[in-house]
Structure 1
């Protein structure tokens, strides 16, 4: 399980004296615990790895946005910190679908559902997320679905 990998990586980083890596791993663990607390009141249970992956994806997205803003604002030192955290986060994310794999999945769903116009975008995106949610780059998928249906 990804959660166990994160715990063991935290222990290894602490023993090695890697302060930045340890801090990033502890931040990941804290976000996962926050999400666990939120899920206690939820009616449906989410499998553990899916929960962890969704937390990691959200954290990675936040880091990418911060990097863009820091680079645009000329704050290279802050962007470097965010890049280091993003590297640690990405270690635990499953390999994302490539652009070619995403296009193939979109074409398969289009063929199955008979989607042909922009009206069908919600159907295609919903099915795409249901099948490949954990390994799907939503921004890329949205762009490719729009291109495929226009």
Structure 2
């Protein structure tokens, strides 16, 4: 049983942060009263933006895969003391940046700052992938969908910021 605790913990960690961030998101995307329009609903969004219901399952899948990839690096790179130390620090940085995006965008409504932040997140994912590759190439490849989704989210964030400058920072 103990052999399963570390991968389960690695998978749960990003999901916990994502789950907590969903409270901020939910408060800004769902009306509290019937007929009410939230700040987010009133924003001008690009035509290619996916429906809101798609984001939770996509992020759950991405968080699970990210967590497992981090476990693979932890396992194969000697944990936090071995060659996995730097890759796991890069991964931790990307988690913090990922979790910070929702409050910046939804709670504080700082669309330009959120765009700058997501660009930093994108860079941290690239650094994580490069460092994971040195320890376990498969773990790096597992992060490709994450990079793709964040790239797409960056374009959406930019378009929302550009189309709503009169409402934001």
Report TM bin, short chain.
0.3 to 0.5
Higher CA-based Rg: 1
The structure, 1 or 2, with the larger RCO (C-alpha pairs under 8 Å, 6+ apart) is: 2
